[in-house]
Amino acid sequence: MELYKTIIQGRLEFGTERTYTTALTQFQNRAENHHKHELVLKEEDIFDDEQLAIIVPRFVGQSSEKWFKNTVSLLGYCAQFAVAGSLKAWMTNNGKVLHYFPIEPDSEKIVVQTFKKGKALVKTKGKQEEAIEALNKSIEKYDQHAQAYERRGKVNFILKKYHDAERDYNKSLGFDNMNPHAYFGRAKVYVVTERYEEAKADFEKALKTSVALQPLYWKSRRLKGNLHFKLGELKEAAFDLKLFSNRAFHKDDSNYVWLREVSFTYAQVLIQQKEYKLALAAIDKAMTFDKGYAKIKNGEILRFRGIANSSIKKSEAKKDLKAAIEAGDKLSVDLLKALK
């Protein structure tokens, strides 16, 4: 029997003791009769009688494909009774994702449907107030809905209502302190309001409560690295930015469009650390990526390539700076004069 790395984490909340008991009974029956207890997770490890929830802080282990699929199928069945929460399950082999299953409530319950509506509208331009209205209804039906508070926090952040956003993220984390999206969102609030130490702490918590298979993990890594760089914390910035720039993101991954910018920022960190050869490699790497969201002009990249080369080979530095000037970078003019 071939075994694969398996990761499962998250929670499903049932709201009432009656619904929780129904889910528990169904889990027990199907575990015995349908799956012969060939499961990755056992009842006693995941059902929490006090919180009326299935809770998996993080399971990492080895599993056969059959046991993994049995477990995902059974958790998905239980999700129909839940009012809130989400579980995510991955099976990987040598770093390659073989299976990924997101599990969320998908019933006709009002709390579920209003949350789904609000969640879908969060990023829709001009629909933010409608999103808040839907999320409010979901919270009214289940006032411990951590995800609804987190999504409402995101809407408030988009609307630049930072006090309201922070309040919502705090509420979300009060009900679920393993929600990386809430830590990430609150960290962004802290950055905007210039509470940088708190922001760094929350980015770190977002990293610890997510996994490297999630785009959010790498968003947190990027923004944390940028913040360290802004604060002049070069060692910490280099660590985060190097990890990001070395990651082989698929073009469909939302992080791919930031590779050019991160590699270039990493090069600037290396120049300040006087690691000029490594900086050159990072700059050359940055130039191979699509422009993406980066607002970096070619002339600016060539200027920093010239700066790095000025401590290695001045003839190459002159070529870089001349090319930067031809690309319209005015700051390279004085740098070239200084080399001559």
Report the alpha-carbon distance of residue 62 to residue 82 in Å, rounded: 27
* DSSP assigned state of 258: G
In which domain, by residue range, is 11 found?
A: 4-103
pLDDT of res. 95: 87
What is the signed CA dihedral for 257, 261, 262, 263, rounded to 10 degrees? 110
pLDDT of res. 213: 95
In a domain, 309, yes or no: no
CB contact set of 12 (below 8 Å; sequence gap of 6+): 23, 53, 54, 75, 78, 79, 82, 84, 85, 86, 87, 103, 105
Looking at the structure, tell me whether residues 162 and 191 fall in a common domain. Answer: yes
In a domain, 84, yes or no: yes
**Residue showing tokens 């970078």:** 329
In a domain, 13, yes or no: yes
Looking at the structure, tell me whether residues 175 and 198 fall in a common domain. Answer: yes
Looking at the structure, tell me whether residues 67 and 128 fall in a common domain. Answer: no
CB contact set of 189 (below 8 Å; sequence gap of 6+): 157, 162, 165, 166, 169
In a domain, 92, yes or no: yes
pLDDT of res. 295: 81
Looking at the structure, tell me whether residues 115 and 76 fall in a common domain. Answer: no
Looking at the structure, tell me whether residues 160 and 195 fall in a common domain. Answer: yes
Looking at the structure, tell me whether residues 116 and 204 fall in a common domain. Answer: yes
pLDDT of res. 222: 98
Please count the structural domains in the chain.
2
Provide the residue-wise pLDDT of the chain in tens; the chain has 340 residues: 799 999 999 999 999 999 999 999 999 999 999 999 999 999 999 999 999 999 999 999 999 999 999 999 999 999 999 999 999 999 999 989 999 999 999 999 999 999 999 999 998 889 999 999 999 999 999 999 999 999 999 999 999 999 999 999 999 999 999 999 999 999 999 999 999 999 999 999 999 999 999 999 999 999 999 999 999 999 999 999 999 999 999 999 999 999 999 999 999 999 999 999 999 999 999 999 888 877 888 899 999 999 999 989 989 999 999 999 999 999 999 988 888 6
The last residue of one of the domains, among 213, 231, 255, is 213
Looking at the structure, tell me whether residues 94 and 125 fall in a common domain. Answer: no
In a domain, 195, yes or no: yes
- Closest listed residue to residue 53, CA positions, set 8, 29, 26, 19: 19
Looking at the structure, tell me whether residues 32 and 96 fall in a common domain. Answer: yes
CB contact set of 313 (below 8 Å; sequence gap of 6+): none
We report the CATH number of the domain holding residue 136 as 1.25.40.10
